[in-house]
Amino acid sequence: MKHLLYTGAAAVALTAGMANAAAHLPFTPGDGGFNWDSFNDFADAYDLSGQSVSVSGPWIGPDRDLVVNMFAYFEEATGATVDYSGSDSFESEIRRAAQTGGLPNIAVFPQPGLLADLAASGHITPLGEDTAEWYRENYAAGESWVDLATSYNEQAGEDAVNGLFYKVDLKSLVWYSPPVFDELGYEIPETMEELIALSEQAVEDGFTPWCIGIGSEGATGWPATDWIEDIMLRTQPLEVYDQWVSNEIPFTDERVVNAIETFGSFARNEDFTGMTPAEVVATDFRNSPDGLFEFPPDCLMHRQASFIPTFFPEGAEYDFFYFPPYESEDLGNPVLGAGTVWGITDDSETAEVLIEFLKTPIAHEVWMAQSGFLTPHLGVDTELYANDTLKGMGEILREATSFRFDASDLMPSEIGTSAFWTGMVEYMRSGDAQAEAQSIQDAWDAIK
């Protein structure tokens, strides 16, 4: 499905504020297409007047304003006060607080691995089987979210659901220029087989199908890891992906090596990139899609996460489609992404009620209608997304049959943000997937 997004025009126009409403409620309760019934039902169920809850998370600047605006509806419904503190050093600060004391009631984790670490050391209150059932009933690919939220919890003495995922990022996207595709008569591929055939057709027609650059200064190599993660999800069952992330199967496993080589069939193919492998390494990922927007184009497609339009030229006309699955593999519609998971780090009644509020459609919709928010919640009105870009991505999330986090973010830092990155740079230069997989596995073995 195509999702045209020439500009960021708002999808909804709603009255903001009213004389007797708090100034920080962006949308007037009762107005617009929001699920105000969920808000009113919640308000009828809870009276927390005079109580407060502390929340720490990664959001600062404009993002802080957005989450605080969402909290305003919780405060309006319950009478409680939310004390939010954001930091760009959240991960190190929450680890330090776990060691020395002073944890907030709720922490917002950008990575489920950090939540799992704190749960294993007894700092996370389990949310219970009710939350697992809620995931299954209310989130697209619900079982995936149960899997991601579940790990050993010291307080429970067993595996438990440790957090609630709220606010998701999407990575399984291919960007292109609609005017260019229209001029060339190209159709949007719906399977990986069709995507490869389109790439080969473009070469026959005298065009370079792919804009790929994996340069990123000190983080060079990370864009390659996203490709490999998406390919793993499209060639292997979820349990194999999970075993790879935890190194239950080694990097040298033939299924992992196959994913690296499949990435190479795109990125090391000079017909596909118009560059040598060394030039792909040297090309900054932020600049690599520039060739999409010329005619004749320098390249036709760019696989990258939802943030990449930030680096597109001003006035560029662009759209995206889902990085498709292999029809031959029959693995559904997997999605690679990231997001935040909320865990109770200092239990209180108000903390538990805030987690329940995050399950309501209104808690999702009031952020959706502002900006920068995606959700797999099946109970929200997708017409409320702030623009067509977000709405299109939201549709991909809703149609997903499974969801997994970026593998490199879940692996130990010595692997995910070091050996994996550098190994992919060396693979681009050497073309020897087995040897580079061995070098990454050697780094794993060194930290075990």
Instruction: At 395, list the tokens.
Output: 């549709």
Pairwise CA distance, residues 121 & 95, whole Å: 11
Alpha-carbon distance of 305 to 92, in angstroms, equals 25
Burial status of residue 55 (CB atoms within 10 A of its CB: 0-12, 13-18, 19 or more): buried
430-to-278, 420, 424 alpha-carbon distances in Å? 10, 15, 10
Stretch 335-363: mean pLDDT: 98
Number of CB atoms found within 10 A of residue 206's CB: 7
Alpha carbons 341 and 111: distance in angstroms, whole number: 7
Residue 177 and residue 292 in contact, taking contact as beta carbons nearer than 8 Å: yes
The pLDDT of 44-63, averaged and rounded, is: 96
Query: One-letter amino acid identity for 309?
Result: P
Count the neighbouring beta carbons within 10 Å of the beta carbon of residue 96: 12
Answer yes or no: is pLDDT of 95 > 80: yes
Kindly report the number of other CB atoms within 10 A of residue 89's CB atom: 9
pLDDT category of residue 306 using cuts at 50, 70 and 90: very high
- Express each pLDDT in 211-248 by its tens digit: 999 999 999 999 999 999 999 999 999 999 999 999 99
The owner of tokens 């497609």 is 301
DSSP track, 313-363:
PTT---EEEE-PPPTTTT---EEEEEEEEEEESS--HHHHHHHHHTTSHHH
- 373 and 367 Cβ atoms separated by less than 8 Å: yes
Tokens 């991601």 correspond to what residue?
148
**Residue 180 is encoded by which pair of tokens?**
């260019």
Region 286-307: mean pLDDT is 94
The DSSP code for 217 is G
Using the predicted structure, report yes or no on whether residue 17 has a pLDDT greater than 50. no
Distance CA 382, CA 224 (A): 32
The pLDDT of residue 448 is 80
List Cα–Cα distances, 441 to 224, 249, 404, 434, in angstroms: 17, 10, 22, 10
At residue 11, the pLDDT reads: 32
Q: What is the pLDDT of residue 21?
A: 36
Report pLDDT digits (tens) over 138-183.
999 999 999 999 999 999 999 999 999 999 999 999 999 999 999 9
pLDDT-derived band at 3, boundaries 50, 70, 90 = very low
Confidence class of residue 294 from pLDDT cuts 50, 70 and 90?
confident
Say whether the peptide bond before residue 178 is cis (omega within 30 degrees of 0).
Answer: no
Sorted by where each starts, the structural domains of the chain and their CATH numbers stand as 36-170+335-405 (3.40.190.10), 173-332+407-447 (3.40.190.10)
pLDDT band at 295 (very low <50, low <70, confident <90, very high): confident
Q: What is the mean pLDDT of the chain?
A: 93
Sign of the alpha-carbon dihedral angle for 305, 307, 308, 309: positive
Identify any residues that bridge with 174 across adjacent strands, giving them in sequence order.
303, 321
Mean pLDDT of 313-333: 96
For residue 22, is pLDDT > 50? no
Asked if 436 and 430 count as a contact pair (C-beta separation under 8 A), the reply is yes
pLDDT at 16 over 80: no
Indicate if the pLDDT at residue 439 is higher than 90.
Answer: yes
